[in-house]
Amino acid sequence: MQIHFVKTAPADVRLIARIVNQGDSLADLDPALADGAKAARFGGKTGQVFEGFAHQDDSLRRVALGGAGEKASAKRDLNVEKAGSALVAKFLRSGETDMVLDLGHGDLSAEEAASALLGARLRGWSYDKYRTKLASEKRVSLETIYVINAPSGTETAWDEAAAVAKGTEFTKRLITEPANILYPESFVELCREAFEGTGAEITVLDEPAMEKLGMGALLGVGQGSERASRMLAIRWNGGGQEKPTVFVGKGVTFDTGGISLKPPPGMEDMKWDMGGAGAVAGAMLALVSRKAKANVIGVMGLVENMPDGKAQRPGDVVTTMSGQTVEVLNTDAEGRLVLCDALHWAQEEYDPAQIIDLATLTGAMIIALGHEHGGLFANDDDLASQLSDAGFATGDKLWRLPIGPAYDKLIDSPVADIKNVGPRPAGSITAAQFLHRFIRKGTPWAHLDIAGMVFSDKPGHTWDKGATGYGARLLDRFIKDNVEG
Ligand code: BES
Ligand code: MN
Ligand code: ZN
C-alpha cells in the first residue's frame, strides 16, 4: 500500500474516505449521504464503515466513513487505527485502485492521524503471489492512498509509523512463505536483502561454527533435515555505550515433530513455527528503519525438524553449549532445544542488559489463552510489566503466567541434567522452566510463547487471513518506551 500526502485530492479518484467519531456531525456532507448513513445505522462506532454514492464536481463519487468510536476513549490510538484499517478492509478488493483519505475530520492529533494510516497500511498487506488463477474480482485492487488535510506534524509521525509498518510486513512475509521456499539459508538471504544498506550488522553461524561452539541441542534438531541449520544475529547500535537488549527467536522453518512425528491434519501449520524468529526479524527492521536510539540484537535459531535416518531419536542425550545435558524424550519438543543454545550463545556473545525470547513453543499455550494473548513468563517483574504495557498499547497483547521451583522439578531427568518434556499438566510453564535453566543469574529475562498469535484463519484489524505480524510492533514499542532515552 502506497501512502502519499497531497495538497488536493487528485480529480480522477472516485473513492473519498474520512474518519468519524461517535456523535460527530455529518452536516457538511451531501444531505443524501448524511441521511443514508443514518438510515444504515452508522454511528461512528469503532471499526464501523458506511459507504454511499454522491455526485460531486460533475462525477460520481464513492464516499466512505470509518468509525473511530468515542473521542475520549483510553484506547483512542487503537480505535483510530481500527477506523483506518476498516476502511481499507472494505475497499481492498473492491475494484478501486486509489482512495483519498481526508484526515481533516474527526479531530485527530498528528499521532492519531498516523495511527489511522498505520491501520490502513497494515490491513492492506496481502500476499497472493502464488494464486495465479485468482478471479480478478477477488484480487487486491487498492494500491494507493492519497492523504489530504492531515493535521500538522502527521508526516513526521508517519515516518516513524511507516518504519513499524515495514517491519510488521516483513514479519508477515516471512511467516507466509511456505517451507519449501523459506528454510534456514533462505531466511538468512531474505534478511540480508531486507537489511542491506540499513547500517545493521549481520552475523551468521553455519553448522561447523555451531559445532565448534558445542551447540549440540540446536544441531540435534536440524540433524534429520537436508537443509543446513543457521544461527543469525542482526545487530543495531543506535544507543552508544549502553549494554544491549537481546531478542531471541525460535526459527523452526518446518516442524514435522521429527521421529515423534506429528499427525497429518494441520501439520501444514508448522510452516509458521518460525514465528518467533519472524517477529524478531521484523522488529529489528522496524528499529533499524526508524533509527532507534537503542542497542538491540536480534538472534534467530534457524532449523528444520524432520524425521530421517539421520534424525535424532527419543532417548538421545545431547550436550548443549552451556554444558548442561538434555535427555530428548520427545523430538517434537524441539523449540526449547533450539532456544537453549541460542539463549546461551547470545548471553556469552553479547552480555545483554536484558533478554527476551519469542517462540511458537507449545500447543498448550493455545489451550490456555486461545488467540487473544501471547503467554508471558519472566524472572523480573519490571520487565514483565513493561512488556505487558507495550502489548496493550500496540494490540499485540500478553498475559503473564507463573514460573517457580516446583514446576522446575518436573523436568529433572534420571539420565541427564534435564529432560525436554515434563508431564502433560502445565506444558507451557515447564517449557518456560526449561529455558530458564539457560539464563544467567541476574539477567532479566522474559519468554513469550506466541503459538496462538502468529497466524489466524480469520481477518483481524491489522491483518487479512493468515500471518498477523504479531510481535514486531510489540518489541518495537517495548524498546521505544523503555530503552530509548
Ligand atoms: N511448534 C510446536 C508448538 C505448536 C503447536 C505451535 C501448535 C503452534 C501450534 C512445538 O514444537 C511442539 O510441537 N510442542 C509440543 C510439545 C510437547 C511435545 C511437549 C506440543 O505442544 O505438543
Ligand atoms: Mn514440535
Ligand atoms: Zn515447534
Domains in the chain: boundaries: 2-150, 163-482
Answer whether 0.95 is exceeded by the pTM. Answer: yes
140 vs 91: CA distance, rounded Å: 9
Q: Examine the pLDDT at 485 and tell me if it is beyond 90.
A: no
The model's pLDDT over 454-469, given as tens digits with 9 standing for 90+, comes to 999 999 999 999 999 9
Per CATH, 2-150 and 163-482 having the same topology is answered: no
From the CB of 332, is ligand 1 less than 6 Å away? Answer: yes
Position 279, amino acid: A
Three-state secondary structure call for residue 119: helix
pLDDT of residue 57: 81
Is 262 one of the catalytic residues? yes
β-strand partners of 203: 233
Instruction: State which of 362, 365, 418 you would mutate to test the pocket of ligand 1, scoring each by most atoms of that ligand within 8 A of its C-beta.
Output: 362
pLDDT of residue 58: 86
From the CB of 363, is ligand 1 less than 6 Å away? Answer: yes
How confident is the model over 272-281, as a mean pLDDT? Answer: 99
Q: Examine the pLDDT at 71 and tell me if it is beyond 90.
A: yes
Residue 284's pLDDT band (boundaries 50, 70, 90)?
very high
Question: How many angstroms separate the alpha carbon of residue 165 from the centre of ligand 2?
Answer: 30
Is 131 one of the catalytic residues? no
- CATH code for residues 163-482: 3.40.630.10
From 14, 45, 75, 262, active-site residue: 262
Position 99, amino acid: M
Residue 91's pLDDT band (boundaries 50, 70, 90)?
very high
Residue whose Cα lies nearest atom 3 of ligand 1: it is 362
DSSP 8-state symbol, 443: -
**In this structure, what is the dihedral angle of CA atoms 184, 186, 189, 195, given to the nearest 10 degrees?**
-80
Residue 257 CA: nearest ligand 1 atom is 13
Position 240, amino acid: G
Question: How many angstroms separate the alpha carbon of residue 390 from the centre of ligand 1?
Answer: 26
How confident is the model over 420-425, as a mean pLDDT? Answer: 97
Question: How many angstroms separate the alpha carbon of residue 329 from the centre of ligand 1?
Answer: 14
From the CB of 171, is ligand 1 less than 6 Å away? Answer: no
Closest to 42 (Cα-Cα) out of 100, 107, 87: 87
Residue whose Cα lies nearest atom 5 of ligand 1: it is 363
Give percent helix, percent strand, percent coil of the chain, each to the nearest 5: 35, 20, 40
Domain 2-150: CATH superfamily is Leucine Aminopeptidase, subunit E, domain 1 (3.40.220.10)
Q: How many CB atoms lie within 10 A of CB 370?
A: 10
Residue 266 to residues 232, 262, 271, 381, Cα–Cα distance (Å):
28, 9, 10, 36
247 vs 237: CA distance, rounded Å: 14
From the CB of 374, is ligand 1 less than 6 Å away? Answer: no
Position 201, amino acid: E
DSSP 8-state symbol, 282: H
Position 258, amino acid: G
